[in-house]
């Protein structure tokens, strides 16, 4: 079933700029498409590739992205002269005033899960239940939901600080030059090629591609994904090259570069 462009982008944790770089579609176009403008067919195909979906999975016309609703201050309840209609398909209920929620939490007794969580956090720092009770100043079962929430936040912060301190100590205890070098780990990323391609695309450089079978192609980058690069040759239609078919590629030296001068 087709989905909104912004839904697919957000599901892949991509920013508009990142998607623009991968798809070879300008960020302003993407903003417009996400706001409901009809997506051009050519752009839809490119966006689909960059998002690893089929073209039909992107809605030709996205529903506008719902804006995050900010909770209104509880005391100020001014009636708006023109009531704004809710988004057509939004099923989310309007946020309840914060003060009311707090009041409710303040009067309710602590939940059992809150106590369990609190004790887990304390145990992670080597503290016993007695120590926690002493710190809080009363038995855990006598806390309200709001108080428990406050202590949970505080213990979470304390645990983060505790872990950071322990990590720093274990590093300082290690004899010098014994830290294991794990320089081979970055092979889990492909950001260097991504950065290179982005820079070449933005600069509009002409690139020469050598394929596995010896074929050579020249063109400017239109868009790229982890598996493909789409180029526009100086005289011909756009071509998408599968990276698996590539041996190497580089910038074609312009007349001004020393390499070109040498070649001449």
Residues in contact with other proteins by the rule CB under 8 A:
183-184, 186-193, 196, 212, 214, 226, 243-244, 246-251, 253, 257-259, 262
- Shortest distance (Å) from residue 243 CB to other proteins: 6
Burial degree of 246 (CB within 10 A; 0-12, 13-18, 19+): middle
- Rounded Cα distance between 113 and 122, Å, is 14
CB 209, min distance to other proteins, A: 10
Of the two residues 86 and 247, which places its CB atom closer to other proteins in the complex?
A: 247
**Beta carbon nearer to other proteins, 187 or 235:** 187
The minimum distance between CB 249 and other proteins, in angstroms, equals: 5
Question: In the complex, what is the shortest distance from the CB of residue 104 to other proteins, in angstroms, rounded to a whole number?
Answer: 51
The least distance separating other proteins from the CB of residue 14, rounded to whole angstroms, comes to 18
Rank residues 172 and 192 by Cβ distance to other proteins and give the closer one.
Answer: 192
* Rg, C-alpha atoms of the chain: 28
In the bound state with other proteins, the residue whose beta carbon lies nearer, of 173 and 187, is 187
Least distance (Å) from other proteins to the CB of residue 195?
9
Is 67 or 192 the residue whose CB approaches other proteins more closely? Answer: 192
Closest to other proteins by CB, 136 or 229: 229
Distance CA 77, CA 71 (A): 12
Task: Check if the beta carbon of residue 206 is closer than 8 Å to that of residue 249.
Answer: no
């Amino acid at each position: 079933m087709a989905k909104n462009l912004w839904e697919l982008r957000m599901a892949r944790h991509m920013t508009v700029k990142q998607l623009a770089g991968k798809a070879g579609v300008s960020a302003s176009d993407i903003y417009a498409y996400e706001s409901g403008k009809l997506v051009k067919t050519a752009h839809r195909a490119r966006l689909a590739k960059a998002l690893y979906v089929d073209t039909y999975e992107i809605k030709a016309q996205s529903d506008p992205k719902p804006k995050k609703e900010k909770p209104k201050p509880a005391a100020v309840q001014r009636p708006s002269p023109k009531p704004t209609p809710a988004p057509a398909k939004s099923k989310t209920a309007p946020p309840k005033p914060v003060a009311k929620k707090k009041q409710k939490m303040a009067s309710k007794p602590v939940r059992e899960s809150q106590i369990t969580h609190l004790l887990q956090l304390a145990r992670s720092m080597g503290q016993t239940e007695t120590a926690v009770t002493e710190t809080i100043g009363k038995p855990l079962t006598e806390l309200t939901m709001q108080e428990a929430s406050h202590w949970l936040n505080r213990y979470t912060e304390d645990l983060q600080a505790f872990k950071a301190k322990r990590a720093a100590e274990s590093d300082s205890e290690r004899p010098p030059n014994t830290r294991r070098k794990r320089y081979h780990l970055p092979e889990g990323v492909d950001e260097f090629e991504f950065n290179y391609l982005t820079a070449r695309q933005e600069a509009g450089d002409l690139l020469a591609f050598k394929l596995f079978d010896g074929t050579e192609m020249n063109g400017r980058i239109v868009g790229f994904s982890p598996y493909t690069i789409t180029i526009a040759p100086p005289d011909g239609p756009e071509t998408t090259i599968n990276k698996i078919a590539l041996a190497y590629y580089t910038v074609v030296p312009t007349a001004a570069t020393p390499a070109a001068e040498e070649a001449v």
